[in-house]
C-alpha cells in the first residue's frame, strides 16, 4: 500500500496552481498528494454591463434568425441568460434555444443547460477543444449555409470562427464577459516571485487565460525574463490542448497533460510523474545552460581531436580517408529490425538508451570513423506547433500544415529544447557509450526541407504548396524560414553542448529548386544558421537532387560540403574549391552489387579525391534497407585499405 501511495505523491515538491473558482479544492488535492500547495487565483470573469449585443443576439434567436447555437463555457452560458432575461422573456429565450440545434463544448455548459431544463443536441468529446468541436459538426451536424450563434470565451477564438466560416456557416458571435486579473493580486504576485526565485518545482495550469495573466503580472513586476528562465527547471502541467497551445504560443514548455482534461486527473497524474520530469529537466538545464562548451570542445581529448574524421573536417592530413554512412543504423541491420519489432519509430527516437544502442551497434559492426546521433529530422517541428505522426507505410505526416500566410503566425518560436530532451539525452548517452576515439555527429534538417514538410504535410513530388507560398508571399516565407533557422541554431547548439563534436545539416528536398531560387529564398537562412553554430565545431552541409546547388552550399559557410552521386566528386570539389572539405559520394545502390564492383567504384571515387586532405567518404544518401550488412562492412574496409597512406 505504501508503494502505491508513493507512486502518486508529489513527495514534498512545491506546487504552484492558478485555479480561481475551485482554488480551495485545488489546494486540498495538492496537499493530499503530498505536495506543498501555493494556489493563487489568477483570473475572474467580468460580465459586460448592459450588453446590448447580447440583447440583440437574443432577439435574433427568438425570431428564428439563428439555426444552431454553440455554448463554449458554463459561466458564459449562465451570464448570457442573466444578461438577456431583463429584456427578453426568459422562458421564451430558453424555449428558442430548445427549438434549434444546440452544441456544448464540454461538461460545464452541459451542466448549466440541464439546470435550465435543456438537453443539447451534441456534446463535444474530450479534450473539448475547438478542433473537436469542428470535427463533431463535420460528422454530425454540417453547418453549410446555416447561421451559427456562438457564445464566446472571454476572448474571441479566431481559429474557431475561421473554421466555421470555412465550412460555409455565417457566424453570429456574442461576447458576454471579459477576463481580468483577480481583485486581489497579492497571492498571484507571490507565486510570480516564488517562480522567479526558483522556489517552485511544479506549476499547474487549468485554463489558457491563466497563462496570459501570469505573464502580464510578471511583466508589470519586471520579472518576465526571470519567470521564463525558471520555467526551464519547473515541471509545467497543462489541463488540456487549449491551455497547452497558449503556453507554447508564449514560448513556455509543456511537460505533462493528463489523460482526461479534468482537475483531479491533472493533479494525480502530475504527482505520479513530477519527480522524474523535474530531475530530467534540471539535469538537462545544467548541461545546456550552465556550461558554455562541453569538455570535449574546451579541452578535446587527443583521441577525439586527432580522429581521422575531425582531422578531415579541418583539412588536416590523415593516415587514411575516414568513412561513415548516412543511415548506418537502419533497417538493413537485423539488430535494428529486432528493436523495431518491439517499438515504433517514434518510440525508438524518444528512448535515449535504444538510440545509443542501435548507433553503437552499427559503429561496432561496420568499423566506421564517426557516429551520428540516432533521431529524425522532424521532431523539432512538434514543439513548434506541428502535429506530427509517423504513419505506418506512409512516412511522416503533418496534420496541420502551413498553407497560408496566417498559418505562419501559429508556428511557435523554439527558445529552448525542453520538449526535445530525449534528443539531448540520446546525444549524451551515445557519446558516453561510443569508443573514446569515435566522434559523434549531431544533426538537423536544413530550413528549406523543414519548411517543405511543414507546408506540404508530407512527401511531395512537385512541392506545389511550398513554392506557391514562396513565390506568392515573400513576407510569410521569410518569416517561416527565419523562425526555422533560429530553431535549428538552438537545436544543434544544444546537441553540441550535450556532447556532439560536429553537426550536419540535411537538405534532402532542396534539389527541387534551381540555383537562382536557392540563392534568393534559401541561402540567407543557411548562412544565418552556420554563423550561429558554436564556433570551432565543424558543420557539414548536405543537399541532394541538383548538382547546380553545390557551389551555393559552399557559400553558406560550412566547413564540409556533402554531395550526392549525381555529380563526379572531382567536379564537385572543383565547384566548391579545394580550400574546403568534401563528403561523399557513392551511389547507395552500389552496395547491392558484389564486392568486386563495390571495390571498383570506391577506388574510382578515391582516385577523384587524388589524395587531397579533406575528403570524408560517404554514400550519396542513406543506406538502403535491402543492403547486405557484409557489403556495408566491406565498403568501410575497402576505403580504409585503398586510401591508406604511408606513415611518415
How far is the first Cα of the chain from the last one, in angstroms, to the nearest whole number?
A: 71
User: Are the CB atoms for 370 and 313 separated by under 8 Å?
Assistant: no
| Count of beta carbons in the 10 Å neighbourhood of residue 459 | 12
Pick from 147, 136, 207: nearest CA to 173: 147
Q: Phi/psi class of residue 119: alpha, beta or left (left: φ > 0; alpha: ψ in -120 to 50)?
A: beta
Q: What are phi and psi of 546, to 5 degrees?
A: -150, 100
Residue 151: strand, helix, or coil = strand
Output the nine-digit C-alpha cell for 247. Answer: 503556453
C-alpha–C-alpha distance, residues 237 and 252, integer Å: 11
User: Are the CB atoms for 243 and 215 separated by under 8 Å?
Assistant: no
Residue 177 appears among annotated catalytic residues? no
Residue 167 appears among annotated catalytic residues? no
Q: Phi/psi class of residue 395: alpha, beta or left (left: φ > 0; alpha: ψ in -120 to 50)?
A: left
Output the nine-digit C-alpha cell for 530. Answer: 552556420
Which 8-state DSSP code applies to residue 418? G
C-alpha–C-alpha distance, residues 178 and 23, integer Å: 20
Residue 236: strand, helix, or coil = strand
Q: Where are the alpha helices (DSSP H) in 507-557?
A: 515-521, 523-532, 550-555
Active-site entry in 22, 90, 194, 331: 331
C-alpha–C-alpha distance, residues 82 and 76, integer Å: 10
C-alpha–C-alpha distance, residues 295 and 428, integer Å: 12
Q: How far is CA 415 from CA 22, 284, 418, 445, 491, in A?
A: 33, 14, 9, 17, 9
Contacts of 351 (CB under 8 A, 6+ apart): 343, 422
Active-site entry in 153, 177, 332, 453: 453
Pick from 439, 410, 20, 393: nearest CA to 188: 20
Taking only Cα atoms into account, the Rg of the chain, rounded to an integer number of angstroms, comes to 29
Q: Phi/psi class of residue 11: alpha, beta or left (left: φ > 0; alpha: ψ in -120 to 50)?
A: left
Which 8-state DSSP code applies to residue 375? -
Q: Around 12, how many Cα atoms within 13 Å sit in the side-chain half-sphere?
A: 0
Active-site entry in 14, 232, 311, 327: 327
Residue 453 appears among annotated catalytic residues? yes
3-state SS track over 39-105: ECCCCEEEECCCCHHHHHHHHHHHCCCCCEEEECCHHHHHHHHHHHCCCCCHHHHHHHHHHCEEEEC
C-alpha–C-alpha distance, residues 102 and 326, integer Å: 56
Q: In what order do the strands lie in the sheet with 202-205?
A: 36-39, 14-17, 202-205, 235-238
Residue 87 appears among annotated catalytic residues? no
C-alpha–C-alpha distance, residues 9 and 7, integer Å: 6
Residue 86 appears among annotated catalytic residues? no
Q: How far is CA 473 from CA 406, 480, 561, 607, in A?
A: 11, 11, 30, 47
Q: Is 366 exposed, middle or buried (0-12, 13-18, 19+ CB in 10 A)?
A: buried
Active-site entry in 22, 90, 273, 340: 340
C-alpha–C-alpha distance, residues 386 and 397, integer Å: 10
Bond preceding residue 127 cis, omega within 30 of 0: yes
Active-site entry in 56, 376, 433, 517: 376
For the annotated catalytic residues, the residue numbers are 327, 331, 340, 376, 453
Amino acid at each position: 500500500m505504501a508503494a502505491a501511495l508513493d507512486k502518486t505523491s508529489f513527495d514534498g515538491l512545491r506546487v504552484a496552481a492558478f485555479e480561481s473558482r475551485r482554488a480551495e479544492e485545488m489546494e486540498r488535492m495538492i496537499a493530499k498528494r503530498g505536495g506543498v500547495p501555493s494556489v493563487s487565483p489568477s483570473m475572474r470573469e467580468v460580465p459586460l454591463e448592459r450588453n446590448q449585443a447580447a440583447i440583440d443576439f437574443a432577439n435574433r434567436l427568438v425570431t428564428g434568425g439563428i439555426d444552431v447555437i454553440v455554448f463554449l463555457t458554463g459561466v458564459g452560458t449562465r451570464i448570457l441568460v442573466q444578461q438577456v432575461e431583463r429584456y427578453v422573456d426568459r422562458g421564451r429565450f430558453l424555449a428558442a434555444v430548445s427549438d434549434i440545434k444546440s452544441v456544448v463544448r464540454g461538461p460545464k455548459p452541459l451542466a448549466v443547460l440541464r439546470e435550465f431544463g435543456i438537453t443539447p443536441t451534441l456534446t463535444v468529446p474530450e479534450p473539448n477543444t475547438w478542433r473537436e468541436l469542428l470535427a463533431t459538426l463535420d460528422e454530425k451536424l454540417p453547418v453549410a449555409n446555416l447561421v451559427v450563434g456562438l457564445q464566446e470565451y472571454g476572448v474571441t477564438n479566431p481559429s474557431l470562427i475561421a473554421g466555421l466560416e470555412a465550412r460555409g456557416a455565417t457566424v453570429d458571435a456574442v461576447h458576454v464577459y471579459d477576463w481580468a486579473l483577480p481583485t486581489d493580486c497579492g497571492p498571484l504576485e507571490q507565486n510570480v516571485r516564488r517562480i522567479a526565485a526558483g522556489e517552485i518545482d511544479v506549476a499547474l495550469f487549468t485554463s489558457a487565460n491563466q497563462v496570459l495573466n501570469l505573464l502580464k503580472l510578471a511583466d508589470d513586476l519586471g520579472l518576465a525574463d526571470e519567470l521564463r528562465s525558471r520555467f526551464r527547471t519547473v515541471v509545467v502541467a497543462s489541463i488540456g490542448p487549449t491551455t497547452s497551445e497558449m503556453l507554447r504560443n508564449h514560448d513556455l514548455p509543456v511537460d505533462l497533460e493528463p489523460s482526461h482534461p479534468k482537475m483531479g486527473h491533472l493533479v494525480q497524474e502530475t504527482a505520479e510523474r513530477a519527480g522524474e520530469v523535474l530531475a530530467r529537466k534540471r539535469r538537462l538545464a545544467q548541461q545546456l545552460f550552465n556550461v558554455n562548451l562541453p569538455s570535449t570542445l574546451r579541452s578535446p581529448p587527443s583521441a577525439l581531436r586527432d580522429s581521422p574524421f575531425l582531422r578531415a573536417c579541418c583539412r588536416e592530413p590523415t593516415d587514411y580517408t575516414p568513412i561513415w554512412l548516412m543511415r548506418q543504423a537502419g533497417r538493413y541491420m537485423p539488430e535494428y529490425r529486432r528493436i523495431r519489432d518491439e517499438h515504433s519509430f517514434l518510440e525508438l527516437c524518444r528512448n535515449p538508451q535504444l538510440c545509443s544502442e542501435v548507433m553503437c551497434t552499427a559503429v561496432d559492426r561496420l568499423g566506421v570513423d564517426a557516429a551520428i546521433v540516432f533521431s529524425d529530422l522532424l521532431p523539432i517541428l512538434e514543439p513548434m506547433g506541428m502535429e506530427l505522426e509517423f504513419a505506418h507505410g506512409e512516412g511522416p505526416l503533418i496534420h496541420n500544415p502551413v498553407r497560408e500566410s496566417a498559418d505562419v503566425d501559429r508556428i511557435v518560436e523554439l527558445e529552448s529544447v525542453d520538449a526535445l530532451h530525449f534528443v539531448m539525452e540520446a546525444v549524451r548517452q551515445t557519446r558516453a557509450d561510443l569508443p573514446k576515439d569515435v566522434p559523434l555527429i549531431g544533426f538537423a534538417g536544413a530550413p528549406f526541407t523543414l519548411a517543405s514538410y511543414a507546408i506540404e504535410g508530407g512527401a511531395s513530388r512537385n512541392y506545389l504548396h511550398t513554392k506557391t507560398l514562396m513565390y506568392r508571399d515573400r513576407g510569410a516565407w521569410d518569416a517561416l524560414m527565419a523562425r526555422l533557422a533560429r530553431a535549428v541554431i538552438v537545436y544543434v547548439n544544444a546537441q553540441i553542448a550535450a556532447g556532439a563534436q560536429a553537426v550536419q545539416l540535411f537538405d534532402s528536398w532542396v534539389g527541387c529548386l534551381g540555383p537562382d531560387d536557392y540563392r534568393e529564398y534559401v541561402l540567407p537562412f543557411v548562412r544565418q544558421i552556420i554563423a550561429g553554430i558554436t564556433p570551432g565545431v565543424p558543420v557539414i552541409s548536405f543537399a541532394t537532387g541538383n548538382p547546380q546547388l553545390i557551389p551555393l552550399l559552399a557559400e553558406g559557410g560550412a566547413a564540409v560540403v556533402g554531395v550526392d552521386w549525381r555529380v563526379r566528386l572531382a567536379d564537385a570539389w572543383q565547384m566548391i574549391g579545394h580550400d574546403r572539405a568534401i563528403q561523399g559520394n557513392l551511389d547507395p545502390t552500389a552496395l547491392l552489387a558484389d564486392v568486386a564492383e563495390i571495390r571498383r567504384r570506391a577506388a574510382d571515387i578515391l582516385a577523384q579525391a587524388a589524395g587531397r586532405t579533406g575528403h570524408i567518404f560517404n554514400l550519396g544518401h542513406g543506406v538502403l534497407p535491402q543492403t547486405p550488412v557484409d557489403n556495408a562492412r566491406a565498403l568501410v574496409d575497402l576505403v580504409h585499405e585503398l586510401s591508406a597512406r604511408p606513415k611518415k
